[in-house]
Structure formats: C-alpha cells, structure tokens
C-alpha cells in the first residue's frame, strides 16, 4: 500500500463515519458539525485528485457559507424543548418511498457507469486555469443558465424580505 492509498482510506473512513454521524446524532448542532467534517474530507478527496480549486471552493461555499447559515437557523431553535411534534404515519411512508427511489436510481446509474481508475496528477482539469477555460468555452451556456437561476433565487429572497 502506498501513501496515497493510506490517505484515501483514512479520508474515506472519516467521511463515512461523519456522514453517519449527521443522521444518527440527536443534537442538530452535532449533526451540522459532522456535516462540516464530511465536507472537509470530501475536499481532501478533491485535493488528492489534483483539483485544488474545487477543494477550496467546496470549503468556501459549503463549509464557509451554507453551513454557517444552517448553524444560524439551528442555533436559534429551542433545543431544550422535548416536545417534538408527532410525525404522521404517511410522512414516514413517503420518506421511505422517496429515499428508496433515490437509492434505486443511484444504484442503477452507478451500475452501468464505467469507472476508470484515476491516475494521480494525470488530470489537470481541477486546476483553476483549465477549469475556467472549460467552463467559459465548452460549458458557457449551462454556466450562464445557472447564473440566471441564482439571480432568480436572489430576486425571490428580496421579494420575500420586502413583504412587510
């Protein structure tokens, strides 16, 4: 086993364990922290794929911005209250069905996917210059469409905020 494999195994073990921690922990704040840890290990995987830009953006966007907002909301909840609203039965069934469907889709998609073994350092697509060129040449239309999506989300937020 070379160093890379060891690092990969350790990172994967941590990410799986912390991902389990997200859904298993009773305290929402602990869940959020576990999720942040998961994001970090995934960023570590990006670094191993020589995609430093993706790794850092992943940390900035997910760990640095989105999870902060999550934490914001969770901190303002009254966590001491034991009165958890009783979940209705049909809600449980709906959750099980949708989760199961997602699993089926994922398995079906991954079964046929060809998984070439990645050579480290062979790909430079994650470096900032190459990624920028690809994004703005090959994928410029999807990129702009997603920016329109963000714009509409911002407008929506402003509209909701201005209601009163």
Partner 1 sequence: MNIDWFFIIEKIALISGVLALSLGVAMYSTWGERKVAAIIQDRRGPNRAGFMGLLQPLADGGKLFFKEEIIPTLSHRFLFILGPSLAMLVACMTSAVIPWGDTLTIGGRQVSLQVADINIGILYIFGVVSLGVYGIMLGGWASNNKYSLLASIRAASQIISYELAMGLSLIALLMLTGSLSLKDIVEQQRHSYWNVVYQPLGFIIFLICAFAECNRTPFDLPEAENELNGGYHLEYSSMKLGFYLFAEYINMFISSALMASMYFGGYSFPFMDSLGLDANLITILGFVALFIKIICFLFLFMWVRWTIPRFRYDQLMRLGWNIMIPIAIVNMLLTGAWILYKQG
Q: Minimum Å distance from CB 140 to partner 1? A: 17
- To which residue do tokens 């999807």 refer? 142
Q: Which is nearer to partner 1, 68 or 106 (CB)?
A: 68
| Cβ at position 39, least distance to partner 1 in Å | 11
Instruction: Decide if 121 contacts 50 (C-beta within 8 A).
Output: yes
For 123, phi and psi rounded to 5 degrees? -110, 135
Q: What Cα–Cα distance (Å) separates residue 47 from each residue in 55, 88, 146, 150, 152?
A: 6, 44, 25, 27, 32
Identify which of residues 94 and 124 has a Cβ nearer to partner 1 in the complex: 124
104 exposure class (CB count in 10 Å sphere: 0-12, 13-18, 19+): exposed
Of the two residues 11 and 36, which places its CB atom closer to partner 1 in the complex?
36
Q: To the nearest whole angstrom, how small is the minimum distance from the Cβ of residue 112 to partner 1?
A: 35
Render the burial of 10-36: b for 16+ CB within 10 Å, e for the rest.
ebeeebeebbebbeeeeebeebbbbbb
Kindly state the smallest distance separating residue 46's Cβ from partner 1, in Å.
Answer: 11
Q: Which is nearer to partner 1, 106 or 126 (CB)?
A: 126
Residues near partner 1 (CB under 8 A) are: 2-3, 29, 33, 36, 52-53, 56-57, 59-60, 63-65, 68, 71-72, 75-76, 127-128
Tell me how crowded residue 127 is: count the other CB atoms within 10 A of its CB: 14
Q: Which is nearer to partner 1, 60 or 151 (CB)?
A: 60
Least distance to partner 1, CB of residue 48, Å: 14
């Amino acid at each position: 086993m070379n160093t890379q494999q060891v690092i990969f195994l350790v990172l994967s073990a941590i990410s799986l364990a912390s991902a389990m921690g997200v859904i298993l922990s009773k305290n929402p704040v602990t869940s959020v922290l576990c999720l942040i840890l998961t994001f970090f290990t995934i960023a570590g995987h990006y670094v191993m794929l020589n995609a430093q830009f993706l790794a850092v953006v992943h940390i900035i966007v997910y760990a640095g911005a989105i999870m902060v907002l999550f934490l914001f909301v969770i901190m303002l909840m009254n966590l001491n209250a034991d009165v958890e609203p009783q979940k209705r039965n049909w809600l449980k069934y709906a959750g099980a069905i949708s989760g199961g469907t997602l699993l089926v889709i994922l398995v079906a998609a991954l079964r046929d996917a060809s998984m070439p073994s990645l050579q480290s350092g062979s790909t430079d697509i994650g470096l900032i210059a190459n990624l920028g060129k690809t994004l703005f040449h090959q994928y410029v239309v999807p990129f702009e469409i997603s920016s329109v999506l963000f714009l509409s989300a911002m407008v929506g937020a402003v509209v909701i905020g201005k209601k009163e």
